[in-house]
Amino acid sequence: MARLYGSRKRILITGGAGFLGSHLTDRLLDLGHEVICVDNLFTGTKRNIDHLHRHPRYEFMRHDVCFPLYVEVDEIYNLACPASPIHYQHDPVQTTKTSVHGAINMLGLAKRLKCKILQASTSEVYGDPAIHPQPEDYWGNVNPIGLRSCYDEGKRCAETLFFDYHRQHNLKIKVMRIFNTYGPRMHPNDGRVVSNFIMQALTGEPLTIYGEGKQTRSFCYVDDLVEGMIRLMDSEDSVTGPINVGNPDEFTIKELCELVLTHTGSASKVIYLPLPDDDPKQRKPDSKLALSLLNWSPSVELAAGLVRTIEYFRWVQANA
């Protein structure tokens, strides 16, 4: 059973040493909760959590969610899974296992404890969407056998498992579809467009645009994303999701490139390469549900968030 003592909760975060997980940890500790961070450090890094090891309400466990875990907690945030194409395509079988076996193990734990569990799903479940922007009731346009399918289909299967546990076992679930998120603690070599552009600009390398740069993305600053995640977890039990959480402001990749060059002051050139297979041409959330059910909308403008992110990558370079 859940073990609530007053307003303080003991909260498990899988993938807690990753980009999103470490920011979520900081926020939950600031709110007065206890946090158990579980991570196998495949893509997460101890650098993201070094500042937490002496915190009296923080605990780190090196563990792979593909194997069962036995802890006593009040809530579970299931964030464990490599999320960038370079990382999740490095070992695609393991990526699918992390999404599917990891979901089964964490759902089993939540069932035993009778506690709420949140799944960090992804906008990738929509594939290369034929509807724009993407509402939650859109079923997607996904290639089930492509290079990205280990992640896309793994996350889709995890959503299936969450809703089947909800229907079959009356489990309290929350499913959040995360759109492109950026900010400090992104992995410098994760292959995502924001980190790619910033690192290329800071090192004087050419900025690589795939295709003509007309494909669009929406970019949500990490603090806004974490706020939406906590609001979803704290919402009424009837609010299961899936709920899109992301910034509805849309930018072309070429516009992002120009912003990065401006705010880094870089003289780097821009080169154009062929578009990768199954790369979505448009990606933007329909965020009406997040606004109506969670009273959530992003507050950090892209330019302001990029400045903070660039400062972080400069620090990484200086301390490499």
Measured distance CA(236)–CA(293) in Å, rounded: 9
Nearest 5°: phi and psi at 133? Answer: -70, 175
Helix (H, G, I), strand (E, B) or coil at 120: strand
Concerning whether 151 is annotated as a catalytic residue, the answer is yes
Give the residue carrying structure tokens 């990526």: 95
Is the N-terminal amide bond of 242 cis, ω within 30° of 0?
yes
Nearest 5°: phi and psi at 10? Answer: -95, 120
Question: Which residue type, as a one-letter code, is found at position 236?
Answer: E
**Which of 77, 151, 165, 182 does the annotation list as catalytic?**
151
Measured distance CA(171)–CA(162) in Å, rounded: 8
Q: CA dihedral defined by 230, 231, 232, 238, rounded to 10 degrees?
A: 140
Active-site residues, by number, are 151
